[in-house]
Structure formats: structure tokens, C-alpha cells
Structure 1
Amino acid sequence: MALSRGRRQARQIDYWPGFVDALSTMLLAITFLLSVFMLAQFFLAREVSTKDIVLSKLHKQIDELTSLLALERAGKADAESQMAALTATLDAEKKGKAQLAAEAAAAASGSSGAAQKALSAQQRLDAEKQISARALSQVDILNQQIAALRRQLAAIEDALSASETKDRESQAKIADLGARLNVALAQKVQELSRYRSDFFGRLRQILGDRPGIRTVGDRFVFQSEVLFDTGQASLNAAGKTELDKLASAVVELEHEIPPEIPWILRVDGYTDKRPIQSAQFPSNWQLSAARSIAVVQYLISKGVTPQRLAATGFGSNWPIDPGDTEDAYKKNRRIELKLTEK
């Protein structure tokens, strides 16, 4: 008969709480990884957005230089056309000058009656010389303008080439920056994970194996009864004693973690699913939030930096045990501490 009772007791062992703890731990790990991924995407998007603005300015400069280059080339073509026209005019003037010189020579060797004609030819020759001199002056000015245009075109082409080179270098820098940002984020996450492991290990040594205090995955869990009386959000004497030990560990941690790592100690409050309707706390949500705030305020009073603390209340959401037994209710009434990124 004793053997029969032993077998019945063995069959009554409930494995469900252990399974729920394991599932909750896995879910929180996945949530943490997703948070890290979203943080990395946020920093990368912000950095890429800044670089996109720089690239947009560079593209605008390239467009302006390209337009200026087209205008300068058009001006150069006009100047060369004018120079060709003046050169043709100059050639015609030279031919006229030669013809007038021949006429003057023929008039000089002829009779005296042709002297008047020679004089007229000489005047025409002098006039042609003046026109030729002006044409030569204009051709010289055009040559100078064409030379200046060529220098401007060369400078614009050099500036355009430099802008294109700078554009390619900026794109390469953006790609390199993204890669280095991902590496830096991964390193900070690894550093924070290492400090979290050391911190929880230290808490286990300080707080010992007291009932109602345990580590679940990446969280340190206090059962509410350790810190608060039933239905209250004021810390009891025993709870303050335990939080004194916790505060000392957090203060030491602040000196150990490098300042460039953005970390916080998040204090999460939970209740069981039985509704509370008191004048002080109309809902479980308000009770859980008030308890987490009370823990944060006490830690601040013991020297913990306020910027490193966050208080949140979840009410009866995210229960550890969904059952309707007193044991399930006790597990779900808790304060969780989580060292995480800001």
C-alpha cells in the first residue's frame, strides 16, 4: 500500500512551471536580440541620412559645374566663329590693299593727268590700312578671349573631375562607416552582456539563496512578498534590507561600466491576475507601477544615479504561471530587475 501511494505521488509531479520559465527565457532572449537589431538599424539609418545630405550637395555641385561647362563651351564656339569671320574680312582687306597698291604704282608711272587718280587710290589705301589695323586688333582680342575660355574650361573640367572623385570617396566612406557602426554596436552589446553576467553573479553572492529571490534568464526576480506587504506599495523593513545590498552592487557597477555604454537597470513590476479595487490602487496596473517606482526611488536614495534607472509597471500581463492556484499567483506577483541598453 505504501508503494502504491508513492507511485501516485510521483505521477502528480507538475513540470509545467519549469517549461513556462524556459519558454519565457527564450522569448525574452529573442526580444533582446530584436531590440539590439532595431537600435543598430536606427543608428545606421541616422548616419546614412546625414551622408545622403552630403551626397545630395555634391550632386548639386556637379550639376552646376556641368551646366557652366556647357555654357563655356558654347561661348568658345561663338568666339571661334567670330574669329573666323574677322579672319576672312582681314584676308579680303589684304587683297584690296594689294590691288590699291598696284593701282597707285601704275598711276605714279603714268602721265601727270593720272596724279589725281593716284592720290585718290593712296587715300583709299590709307583707309584700308586703318580698317585692317582695327581688324587685326579685334582678332588679337578674340585670341585672348579664346585662351581665357580654354583656361576656364580646363578649370571647370578639373573641378568636375574632383567632385566626381569626392562623390565616389563619400560613398565608399558611407559603406565603411556602416560596417564599422555594426561592429561597434556588436562590441557594445557583448560588453553589456559581460557586465550583466558579472552583475547577476555578484547579486547571487550578495543575496544568497534566500527563498523568493532567484535569477530567471537575464532577469533578477524578487517575489513581491519579499519587498512589500499584501496590496501595498511601501517597502517593508525586510525589503529595504535586501535593496540596500542591491544598491551597493549597482553603485559598484556604475564605476565599472565605461561611460560610453548606454545602459540602464530596468525595474519591472507585476501582479497576479486577481483584480484589485482599492481607493489607493484602482487597478493592478497602478499597483505594479507604484511598486516599481518605490524600488527605484529607494535605490536613488542609496546613491544610484537616477539616469541609470527606469521604472515600468505591467500589471497582470506577462504572467510566469497562467494557472489559477495560490502558487501561480505567488509566482506572478514579482519585481524583476533587468540590466539592458537604454
Structure 2
Amino acid sequence: MAGGMRARRRNQGTDYWPGFVDAMATLLLVIIFLLSIFMLAQFFLSQQLSGRDTVLNRLNAQISELTQLLALERASARELEDTISGLEASLGDATSEKDRLLALLANSSGEADEAGGRAAQLETLLDDEKQVSQRALAQIELLNQQIGALRRQLAAANAALEAAEAKETQSQAKIASLGKRLNAALVQRVQELSRYRSDFFGRLREILSQRSDIRVVGDRFVFQSEVLFGSGSEDINPEGQVELKKLADAIKELAVQIPDEINWVLRVDGHTDARPLSGTGRLRNNWELSAARAISVVRYLIEQGVDPKRLVAAGFGEFQPLEEGETPDALAKNRRIELKLTER
């Protein structure tokens, strides 16, 4: 009777630990999400920067090539201008010679024929030089047109470069906005799931409050294995079926309340103590025993109408103890089934 009174006093005490663990779990999820958003933003930014570098390298190569062509065209234009200058000088000399010969022709009739012949030659030479000058001018005009085309190509390349930089700025702004929206959505979902977890555990406390071997540890609801199974067995005993029926009803009530966009699951974890099995039965070790017990609980909950998509079974063997040591109390606490409401 004294033991029963102490148990009731413990049950009547205020347990702040679940709320504290809920807050810490929420903070951890937010931190993990922020790290994920940072990595996502870095990935998108690196993709944008890589694309921009590729465009810049291509544009720089085109600009370099156009600059070289422009330099060659300008050199050719200068050569043609020098040629024209030389031709114009020769033309001036020929004109002077023509004038001198005509003067000699006027003064000397004896040299008229010779002067006339030389004058005809000079006329022919002048005509040839004029033709050469016209071709040179035509080439200069063509070069000017080519230089204008090169300048237009350079302007188009600069415009493309500016457009690429503007696009990069817009992409960075979109990534930042996406990160903020995802962060806000995740925080809201984490808060909602935490609230439903607290409501769920509160409901379980109400319907299972009379048992000291069913308790809350952190963010998990813990059934001692003796409540559900016999020693070394994976079959749920009648007493355990009664308690799991209450649990199934609470889960179905919760499923109606949680919005569809929250992808939640109830994880059922099986744990054993450190004592090995005999190895002569169907289950050869604690891994198999813990997993088989978790699967048995999940199957029973499904039989009671719980949606299979909302259930997960896992076995941990003896490798996640609640208490260290080989005392009977420590071994009993380590033999357990844990329930955790989480996101998939």
C-alpha cells in the first residue's frame, strides 16, 4: 500500500520534461532546416554562377576575336591610305610634268611631236592612277563598313553580358525569397506537429494514467515489454491488447485532427535488455526479438483500424538502453516498446 501511495504521488507531480523536449526538438528541426536551405541556396547560386561564367567566357572570347579583326582592318586601312597618298603625290608630279611639257610645246615647235607623245603617255598614266585611287577609295569604304559591323557586334555582346548579370541578380533574389518562404512553412509545420504531439501524449496520459509501467520519456511514450509480451515472446498478451486498443482509439482520433499536408507517422520502436536469447527458438537474437515485437504492435494497431501508411516499425535490440547496468530494475526499464509521433 505504501508503494501504491508513492506511485500516486509521483503521478500527481507536474512533469515539465516533455514540454522541454518538444521545444528542443522543434529548435533542432528548425536548425536542420536552415542548414538545408543554406545548402540549397548554395547549390542554386553555384549553378547560376557557373552559367554566368560560361556566358562571360564565351563573350570575352568573341570580344577578343572581334578586337583582333578590328586591328587588322585598321592596319589595312592605314596601308591603303598610305598608297593613296603616294598615288596623289605621283599624280601631282605628273601634272607638273604635263604643264612643263605643254609650255615647252608652246615655245618649241621642233619638239612638239616629242612633247605631244610624252603628254599622251602622261595622260594615260594619270588615267591609270585615277582608277587605282578609285579602287583604293572603294576598299576604304568597305573597310569602314566592316569596322561599323564589328562595333555593332561588340555592342550586342555588351548588351548580352549586361542581360546575363541582370538575370543572375534576379535569380539570387528568387533564391532568397524561396528560402524565406520554405523556412516560414517549415517552422509552422514543426509547431503544428509539436502541438499535435503534445495533445496526443496528453490524451494517452488520460487513458493510461492508472499504469506506472507506461510513461513518457522525452518525446516518446514508453510501454514496458511486460505490459504487452511474455518473456522472450513476440505475441501480444490479452492485457497488452486491451492497452493497445486504447492506443489505437487515440491514434484514430489524432488522425482526424491533423491536416493532410502534415505527413506524420507513428514510429513503433522495439528494445530489449542486454541478456542474449538462447538461440534455440525461432528468434535467434535480440535484434530479431525487438523487431518482431515492434511489428506485432503495428499489426495489431492496423487490425484496430489505424491507417498502415501512418505506422513504422523498427527494432534496436539492446543497443539503445535507457539505463546502464545489470540490475533487475535497469534490465526491466530497457525492455520496452516506444512510440514517437514524427514526420516521415
Q: Which TM-score tier does this pair reach, normalised by the shorter chain?
A: 0.7 to 0.9
Decide whether aligned partners of structure 1 residues 185 and 325 sit closer, same or farther in structure 2, where only a CA change above 3 A counts: same
The whole-number CA distance in structure 2 between the counterparts of 1:211 and 1:108 is 138
Superposed CA offset, 1:195-223 (max 9, x none): 21122223333445344322233111222
Is contact 1:48-1:174 (8 Å) kept? no
Structure 2 residue 57 is matched with structure 1 residue 57: no
Say whether 1:141 aligns with 2:135: no
> Cα offset for 1:122?
0.8
2:132 equivalent in structure 1:
131
Q: Corresponding residue for 1:310?
A: 312
The Cα of 1:239 is off from its aligned counterpart by 2.5
SS state at 1:194 partner: helix
1:86 counterpart letter in structure 2: L
Instruction: Give yes or no for contact 2:22–2:194 (8 Å, CA) kept in 1.
Output: no
Offset of residue 323 of structure 1: 5.2
Instruction: Please show how residues 2-13 of structure 1 align to structure 2 within 5 Å.
Output: none
Q: Which amino acid aligns with 2:311?
A: L
Q: How far, CA to CA, are the matches of 1:28 and 1:291 in structure 2?
A: 27
Equivalent in the alignment of 1:204: 205
Deviates more, 1:102-111 or 1:46-55: 102-111
**Counterparts of 1:73 and 1:182 in 2: how far apart (Å)?**
49
- Partner secondary structure for residue 189 of structure 2: helix
Structure 2 equivalent of residue 85 of structure 1: 79
- Cα deviation, residue 291, structure 1: 0.4
| Cα distance in 2 between the residues matched to 1:191 and 1:260 | 11
Taking structure 1 as the reference length, what is the TM-score of the superposition?
A: 0.81
Of 322-331 and 66-75, the range deviating more from structure 2: 322-331
Measured against aligned partners, the alpha-carbon deviations of 1:218-238 in whole angstroms (never above 9, x if no partner) come to 111222222222321112233
Give how far 1:143 is off: 0.4
| RMSD (Å), alpha carbons | 3.3
User: CA, structure 1 residues 43+290, in 2 after alignment: closer, same or farther (shift >3 Å)?
Assistant: farther
Task: Name the SS of the counterpart of 2:273 in structure 1.
Answer: coil
The residue aligned with 2:151 is 150
**Conserved 8 A contact 2:37-2:179:** no
Q: Aligned in 2, Cα 1:213/1:90: closer, same or farther, shift over 3 Å?
A: same
Structure 2 equivalent of residue 320 of structure 1: 322
2:39 match: 45
Alignment correspondent of 1:187: 188
Letter in 1 for 2:254: L
Residues 33-80 of structure 1: CA deviation (Å, up to 9, x unaligned): 556644543454245224312321211111111121122122212212
Deviating more after overlay: 190-199 vs 270-279: 270-279
Aligned-pair identity in percent equals: 47
Stretches of structure 2 that go unaligned for 5 or more consecutive residues are 8-14
Q: Match of 2:196, as an amino acid?
A: Y
In 2: Cα distance, 1:119 partner to 1:216 partner: 121
CA distance in 2: counterparts of 1:39 and 1:221, whole angstroms: 28
How does the TM-score come out when normalised to structure 2?
0.81
Q: What is the SS of the residue equivalent to 1:317? A: coil
Q: Structure 1: where are the runs of 5+ without partners? A: 1-5, 14-20
1:276 is paired with a residue of what secondary structure?
A: coil
Aligned ranges 1:1-342 → 2 under 5 Å: 34=28, 37-38=31-32, 40-42=34-36, 44-108=38-102, 110=105, 111=109, 112-113=112-113, 114-277=115-278, 278-322=280-324, 324-342=326-344
**Secondary structure of the corresponding residue to residue 312 of structure 1:** strand
Q: Counterparts of 1:323 and 1:135 in 2: how far apart (Å)?
A: 104
1:128 counterpart SS class: helix
Shift of 1:318: 3.3
Greater displacement, 222-231 / 95-104 = 95-104
Please report how far the alpha carbon of residue 283 of structure 1 lies from its aligned counterpart in structure 2 after TM superposition.
2.0
User: Cα 1:309–1:28, aligned 2, differ >3 Å: closer, same or farther?
Assistant: same
Deviation (angstroms), 1:178: 4.4
* 3-state DSSP of counterpart to 1:125: helix
Q: Assess if the C-alpha contact under 8 Å between 1:267 and 1:312 holds in 2.
A: yes
Equivalent pair of 1:244/1:302 in contact (CA under 8 Å): yes
Comparing 319-328 and 270-279, the one that deviates more: 319-328
| 31-40 or 281-290: bigger deviation | 31-40
Structure-1 separation of matches of 2:34 and 2:306: 28
Task: Tell me which moved more, 207-216 or 281-290.
Answer: 207-216
* 8 A contact 2:224–2:337 mirrored in 1: yes
The total of aligned residue pairs comes to: 326
Distance of 1:298 and 1:337 partners within structure 2: 14
Question: Deviation digits for residues 260-283 of structure 1, max 9, x if unmatched?
Answer: 434321111122333321412222
Amino acid at match of 1:55: L
Match of 1:17 in 2: none
Q: Does structure 1 retain, via aligned residues, the 8 Å contact 2:214–2:223?
A: yes
